[in-house]
Amino acid sequence: MEGIDLPSTMSRPDLIEYKGISMVHYFTDNWEKIQNFQAKPDDIVIATYPKAGTTWVSYILDLLYFGNKETERQTSQPIYFRVPFLEMTIPELPSGVDLADKLPTTPRLIKTHLPVQLVPKSFWEQNCKIIYVGRNAKDNAVSYFHFERMNFIQPEPGDWNTFLQMFMDGKKVFGPWYDHVCGYWEKKQTYSNIHYMFFEDMVEDTGREVERLCSFLGLSTPIEEREKITKDVHFDSMKKNKMTNYSTIPIMDFKISPFMRKGKVGDWKNHFTVAQNEQFDEHYKQKMKNTTLQFRTEL
Protein backbone atom coordinates (compact mmCIF):
# COMPACT_ATOMS: atom_id res chain seq x y z
CA MET A 1 0.00 0.00 0.00
CA GLU A 2 2.92 2.35 -0.60
CA GLY A 3 1.15 4.32 -3.32
CA ILE A 4 -0.89 3.92 -6.46
CA ASP A 5 -0.20 3.74 -10.18
CA LEU A 6 -2.08 5.90 -12.62
CA PRO A 7 -4.55 3.93 -14.76
CA SER A 8 -3.75 4.36 -18.45
CA THR A 9 -7.35 5.36 -19.21
CA MET A 10 -7.23 8.58 -17.20
CA SER A 11 -7.51 12.04 -18.67
CA ARG A 12 -8.54 15.49 -17.46
CA PRO A 13 -12.31 15.49 -17.02
CA ASP A 14 -14.91 18.03 -18.15
CA LEU A 15 -16.80 20.07 -15.60
CA ILE A 16 -20.35 18.73 -15.37
CA GLU A 17 -23.47 19.89 -13.53
CA TYR A 18 -24.66 17.27 -11.04
CA LYS A 19 -27.43 17.62 -8.43
CA GLY A 20 -27.19 21.36 -8.86
CA ILE A 21 -23.44 21.70 -8.37
CA SER A 22 -20.36 21.62 -10.59
CA MET A 23 -18.63 18.26 -10.49
CA VAL A 24 -16.39 15.88 -12.40
CA HIS A 25 -17.32 12.29 -13.07
CA TYR A 26 -14.56 10.98 -10.77
CA PHE A 27 -16.76 12.06 -7.85
CA THR A 28 -20.16 11.09 -9.21
CA ASP A 29 -19.58 7.74 -10.99
CA ASN A 30 -20.23 5.81 -7.79
CA TRP A 31 -23.15 7.97 -6.72
CA GLU A 32 -25.57 5.28 -5.62
CA LYS A 33 -23.02 3.62 -3.36
CA ILE A 34 -21.91 6.98 -1.97
CA GLN A 35 -25.44 8.01 -1.09
CA ASN A 36 -26.19 4.60 0.44
CA PHE A 37 -23.00 4.48 2.46
CA GLN A 38 -23.67 2.90 5.85
CA ALA A 39 -22.14 4.99 8.58
CA LYS A 40 -21.30 3.73 12.06
CA PRO A 41 -22.06 5.95 15.06
CA ASP A 42 -18.37 6.41 15.86
CA ASP A 43 -17.33 7.36 12.32
CA ILE A 44 -15.70 10.77 12.14
CA VAL A 45 -16.19 12.81 8.99
CA ILE A 46 -13.73 15.46 7.89
CA ALA A 47 -15.66 17.76 5.59
CA THR A 48 -14.15 20.64 3.66
CA TYR A 49 -14.28 22.65 0.50
CA PRO A 50 -11.21 21.49 -1.48
CA LYS A 51 -7.95 23.10 -0.32
CA ALA A 52 -9.16 24.29 3.08
CA GLY A 53 -6.75 22.15 5.11
CA THR A 54 -8.31 18.70 4.80
CA THR A 55 -5.04 16.81 4.86
CA TRP A 56 -3.75 18.79 7.81
CA VAL A 57 -6.78 18.01 9.97
CA SER A 58 -6.94 14.42 8.69
CA TYR A 59 -3.38 13.87 9.84
CA ILE A 60 -4.04 15.46 13.24
CA LEU A 61 -6.98 13.13 13.77
CA ASP A 62 -5.01 10.14 12.57
CA LEU A 63 -2.26 10.89 15.08
CA LEU A 64 -4.69 11.58 17.91
CA TYR A 65 -6.35 8.21 17.45
CA PHE A 66 -3.65 5.97 16.04
CA GLY A 67 -0.33 7.79 16.34
CA ASN A 68 0.96 5.70 19.18
CA LYS A 69 -0.62 2.41 18.36
CA GLU A 70 0.09 1.39 14.81
CA THR A 71 3.59 2.10 13.58
CA GLU A 72 3.10 0.33 10.27
CA ARG A 73 0.22 2.68 9.55
CA GLN A 74 2.44 5.70 10.17
CA THR A 75 5.39 4.51 8.10
CA SER A 76 3.85 2.88 5.06
CA GLN A 77 0.22 3.93 4.59
CA PRO A 78 -0.32 7.23 2.79
CA ILE A 79 -2.89 9.50 4.39
CA TYR A 80 -5.33 8.97 1.49
CA PHE A 81 -5.64 5.31 2.48
CA ARG A 82 -5.89 5.97 6.21
CA VAL A 83 -8.57 8.60 5.67
CA PRO A 84 -10.45 7.60 2.50
CA PHE A 85 -11.99 10.23 0.27
CA LEU A 86 -15.55 8.95 0.18
CA GLU A 87 -16.69 10.13 -3.25
CA MET A 88 -13.43 9.45 -5.11
CA THR A 89 -13.85 6.87 -7.89
CA ILE A 90 -10.93 6.38 -10.23
CA PRO A 91 -11.14 3.49 -12.70
CA GLU A 92 -9.17 0.39 -11.73
CA LEU A 93 -8.56 1.68 -8.20
CA PRO A 94 -10.48 0.96 -5.01
CA SER A 95 -13.21 3.54 -4.62
CA GLY A 96 -13.45 5.77 -1.58
CA VAL A 97 -16.56 3.89 -0.50
CA ASP A 98 -14.77 0.54 -0.70
CA LEU A 99 -11.77 1.86 1.21
CA ALA A 100 -14.03 3.35 3.89
CA ASP A 101 -16.10 0.16 4.12
CA LYS A 102 -12.95 -1.87 4.67
CA LEU A 103 -11.32 0.40 7.23
CA PRO A 104 -10.43 -1.84 10.17
CA THR A 105 -10.12 1.00 12.66
CA THR A 106 -12.42 2.43 15.27
CA PRO A 107 -13.19 5.17 14.72
CA ARG A 108 -13.13 5.27 10.96
CA LEU A 109 -11.89 8.61 9.68
CA ILE A 110 -13.60 9.57 6.43
CA LYS A 111 -13.00 12.59 4.21
CA THR A 112 -15.56 14.29 2.01
CA HIS A 113 -15.80 17.48 -0.02
CA LEU A 114 -19.53 17.09 -0.61
CA PRO A 115 -21.64 20.13 0.21
CA VAL A 116 -23.80 19.59 3.27
CA GLN A 117 -26.99 18.79 1.33
CA LEU A 118 -25.27 15.88 -0.46
CA VAL A 119 -23.69 14.20 2.58
CA PRO A 120 -25.02 10.61 2.75
CA LYS A 121 -27.95 10.55 5.14
CA SER A 122 -26.62 7.68 7.20
CA PHE A 123 -24.01 10.01 8.76
CA TRP A 124 -26.81 12.23 10.11
CA GLU A 125 -28.93 9.27 11.19
CA GLN A 126 -26.02 7.83 13.14
CA ASN A 127 -25.28 11.24 14.66
CA CYS A 128 -21.65 11.00 13.53
CA LYS A 129 -19.16 13.65 14.55
CA ILE A 130 -18.34 16.00 11.69
CA ILE A 131 -15.29 18.20 11.61
CA TYR A 132 -15.60 21.00 9.11
CA VAL A 133 -12.62 23.12 8.12
CA GLY A 134 -13.19 26.48 6.46
CA ARG A 135 -10.57 28.69 4.86
CA ASN A 136 -10.93 32.27 3.73
CA ALA A 137 -12.18 32.50 0.15
CA LYS A 138 -9.18 34.34 -1.26
CA ASP A 139 -6.50 31.96 -0.05
CA ASN A 140 -8.79 29.03 -0.74
CA ALA A 141 -9.16 30.17 -4.34
CA VAL A 142 -5.40 30.62 -4.80
CA SER A 143 -4.67 27.20 -3.39
CA TYR A 144 -7.37 25.63 -5.57
CA PHE A 145 -5.95 27.32 -8.67
CA HIS A 146 -2.51 25.81 -8.14
CA PHE A 147 -4.08 22.47 -7.28
CA GLU A 148 -6.03 22.39 -10.55
CA ARG A 149 -2.87 23.16 -12.46
CA MET A 150 -1.08 20.12 -11.06
CA ASN A 151 -3.89 17.60 -10.51
CA PHE A 152 -5.05 15.73 -13.58
CA ILE A 153 -8.40 14.65 -12.21
CA GLN A 154 -9.44 18.30 -12.13
CA PRO A 155 -10.46 20.28 -15.23
CA GLU A 156 -7.91 22.68 -16.70
CA PRO A 157 -8.03 25.89 -14.63
CA GLY A 158 -7.03 28.29 -17.42
CA ASP A 159 -5.17 31.40 -16.31
CA TRP A 160 -5.61 32.98 -12.86
CA ASN A 161 -8.19 35.51 -14.02
CA THR A 162 -10.30 32.83 -15.72
CA PHE A 163 -10.05 30.64 -12.65
CA LEU A 164 -11.07 33.46 -10.30
CA GLN A 165 -14.14 34.35 -12.34
CA MET A 166 -15.23 30.72 -12.35
CA PHE A 167 -14.60 30.44 -8.61
CA MET A 168 -16.81 33.49 -8.01
CA ASP A 169 -19.48 32.01 -10.28
CA GLY A 170 -19.42 28.77 -8.28
CA LYS A 171 -18.23 26.85 -11.32
CA LYS A 172 -15.58 24.82 -9.57
CA VAL A 173 -15.65 21.16 -8.60
CA PHE A 174 -17.85 20.78 -5.47
CA GLY A 175 -19.72 23.94 -6.33
CA PRO A 176 -19.69 27.43 -4.87
CA TRP A 177 -17.30 28.03 -1.95
CA TYR A 178 -19.90 30.44 -0.51
CA ASP A 179 -22.69 27.85 -0.26
CA HIS A 180 -20.29 25.18 1.00
CA VAL A 181 -18.95 27.12 3.99
CA CYS A 182 -22.37 28.61 4.81
CA GLY A 183 -24.17 25.30 4.41
CA TYR A 184 -22.21 23.58 7.18
CA TRP A 185 -22.33 26.75 9.31
CA GLU A 186 -26.13 26.76 9.16
CA LYS A 187 -26.32 23.02 9.77
CA LYS A 188 -24.36 23.52 12.98
CA GLN A 189 -27.30 25.47 14.38
CA THR A 190 -29.46 22.33 14.41
CA TYR A 191 -26.91 19.51 14.43
CA SER A 192 -24.64 19.88 17.43
CA ASN A 193 -22.08 17.24 16.42
CA ILE A 194 -20.29 19.59 14.01
CA HIS A 195 -16.99 21.14 15.06
CA TYR A 196 -16.36 24.10 12.76
CA MET A 197 -12.69 24.97 12.43
CA PHE A 198 -10.79 27.62 10.52
CA PHE A 199 -7.54 27.19 8.60
CA GLU A 200 -6.43 30.61 9.83
CA ASP A 201 -6.86 29.56 13.48
CA MET A 202 -4.75 26.50 12.81
CA VAL A 203 -1.95 28.59 11.35
CA GLU A 204 -2.20 31.03 14.24
CA ASP A 205 -2.03 28.41 16.98
CA THR A 206 -2.06 24.76 15.98
CA GLY A 207 -1.67 23.55 19.57
CA ARG A 208 -4.78 25.42 20.69
CA GLU A 209 -6.78 23.95 17.80
CA VAL A 210 -5.58 20.42 18.63
CA GLU A 211 -6.73 20.99 22.19
CA ARG A 212 -10.15 22.21 21.01
CA LEU A 213 -10.43 19.18 18.76
CA CYS A 214 -9.67 16.87 21.69
CA SER A 215 -12.31 18.55 23.73
CA PHE A 216 -14.91 18.14 20.95
CA LEU A 217 -13.94 14.51 20.46
CA GLY A 218 -13.94 13.75 24.17
CA LEU A 219 -10.27 12.74 24.11
CA SER A 220 -8.05 13.21 27.14
CA THR A 221 -4.79 13.14 25.19
CA PRO A 222 -1.96 14.14 27.54
CA ILE A 223 -0.35 17.50 26.89
CA GLU A 224 3.06 15.99 25.96
CA GLU A 225 1.38 13.90 23.29
CA ARG A 226 -0.56 16.87 21.99
CA GLU A 227 2.66 18.86 21.80
CA LYS A 228 4.35 16.08 19.85
CA ILE A 229 1.43 15.90 17.44
CA THR A 230 1.52 19.66 16.98
CA LYS A 231 5.18 19.35 15.96
CA ASP A 232 4.57 16.38 13.65
CA VAL A 233 1.84 18.20 11.76
CA HIS A 234 3.89 21.32 11.16
CA PHE A 235 3.96 22.33 7.49
CA ASP A 236 7.67 21.52 7.10
CA SER A 237 7.30 18.06 8.65
CA MET A 238 4.26 17.19 6.58
CA LYS A 239 5.95 18.46 3.43
CA LYS A 240 8.90 16.13 4.08
CA ASN A 241 6.74 13.17 5.08
CA LYS A 242 6.00 10.93 2.07
CA MET A 243 2.91 9.60 3.80
CA THR A 244 1.33 13.05 4.02
CA ASN A 245 2.74 15.05 1.10
CA TYR A 246 0.93 13.15 -1.68
CA SER A 247 4.19 12.43 -3.50
CA THR A 248 3.08 8.79 -3.81
CA ILE A 249 0.04 9.66 -5.92
CA PRO A 250 0.55 9.80 -9.70
CA ILE A 251 -2.40 12.03 -10.57
CA MET A 252 -0.43 15.08 -9.46
CA ASP A 253 2.57 16.71 -11.10
CA PHE A 254 4.78 18.30 -8.45
CA LYS A 255 6.94 19.90 -11.13
CA ILE A 256 3.96 22.18 -11.80
CA SER A 257 3.17 22.83 -8.12
CA PRO A 258 3.69 20.77 -4.94
CA PHE A 259 0.73 19.57 -2.90
CA MET A 260 2.23 21.10 0.23
CA ARG A 261 2.66 24.45 -1.46
CA LYS A 262 2.95 27.33 1.04
CA GLY A 263 0.54 26.72 3.92
CA LYS A 264 0.15 30.44 4.61
CA VAL A 265 -2.58 32.96 5.34
CA GLY A 266 -2.47 35.91 2.96
CA ASP A 267 -0.80 34.38 -0.09
CA TRP A 268 -3.76 35.80 -2.05
CA LYS A 269 -1.95 39.15 -1.96
CA ASN A 270 0.62 37.68 -4.34
CA HIS A 271 -2.11 36.76 -6.84
CA PHE A 272 -4.99 39.24 -6.77
CA THR A 273 -4.60 42.46 -8.71
CA VAL A 274 -6.10 45.58 -7.11
CA ALA A 275 -9.00 45.43 -9.57
CA GLN A 276 -9.61 41.72 -8.95
CA ASN A 277 -9.58 42.33 -5.22
CA GLU A 278 -12.13 45.14 -5.40
CA GLN A 279 -14.43 43.12 -7.62
CA PHE A 280 -14.05 40.08 -5.40
CA ASP A 281 -14.82 42.05 -2.20
CA GLU A 282 -17.95 43.55 -3.72
CA HIS A 283 -19.20 40.17 -4.91
CA TYR A 284 -18.28 38.56 -1.57
CA LYS A 285 -20.34 41.09 0.37
CA GLN A 286 -23.39 40.18 -1.66
CA LYS A 287 -22.87 36.44 -1.43
CA MET A 288 -22.25 36.46 2.32
CA LYS A 289 -24.74 39.11 3.37
CA ASN A 290 -27.09 36.69 5.13
CA THR A 291 -24.62 34.81 7.27
CA THR A 292 -22.90 35.42 10.59
CA LEU A 293 -19.90 33.41 9.37
CA GLN A 294 -16.69 35.42 9.22
CA PHE A 295 -13.22 34.66 7.91
CA ARG A 296 -9.85 36.27 8.39
CA THR A 297 -7.85 36.99 5.25
CA GLU A 298 -4.73 37.96 7.19
CA LEU A 299 -3.28 37.33 10.62
Point out which residues bind ligand A3P (CB under 6 A).
Answer: 48, 50-56, 139, 143, 146, 233-235, 238, 260-263, 267
* Residue (126 or 152) nearer to ligand A3P, CB: 152
Q: Could you tell me the smallest distance in angstroms from the CB atom of residue 239 to ligand A3P?
A: 8
Question: For residues 56 and 39, what is the distance between their CA atoms, to the nearest angstrom?
Answer: 23
* Residue (171 or 271) nearer to ligand A3P, CB: 271
Q: For residue 283, indicate whether it is catalytic.
A: no
Q: Could you tell me the smallest distance in angstroms from the CB atom of residue 285 to ligand A3P?
A: 24
Q: Could you tell me the smallest distance in angstroms from the CB atom of residue 247 to ligand A3P?
A: 13
Burial (Cβ within 10 Å: 0-12, 13-18, ≥19) of residue 217: middle
* Residue (100 or 197) nearer to ligand A3P, CB: 197
Q: Could you tell me the smallest distance in angstroms from the CB atom of residue 132 to ligand A3P?
A: 12
**Among the options 113, 146, 180, 195, which is catalytic?**
113
Tell me the CA distances in angstroms from 161 to 14, 21, 23, 267, one per residue in order: 19, 21, 20, 16
| Contact status, residue 193 vs residue 291, Cβ threshold 8 Å | no
Count Cα atoms within 13 angstroms, Cβ side, for 167.
Answer: 28
Q: Which residue is nearest to ligand A3P (CB)?
A: 263
Quickly list DSSP for 187-236: HHHH-TTEEEEEHHHHHH-HHHHHHHHHHHHT----HHHHHHHHHHTSHH
3-state secondary structure of 129: strand
* Residue (37 or 199) nearer to ligand A3P, CB: 199
Catalytic positions, written as ranges: 113
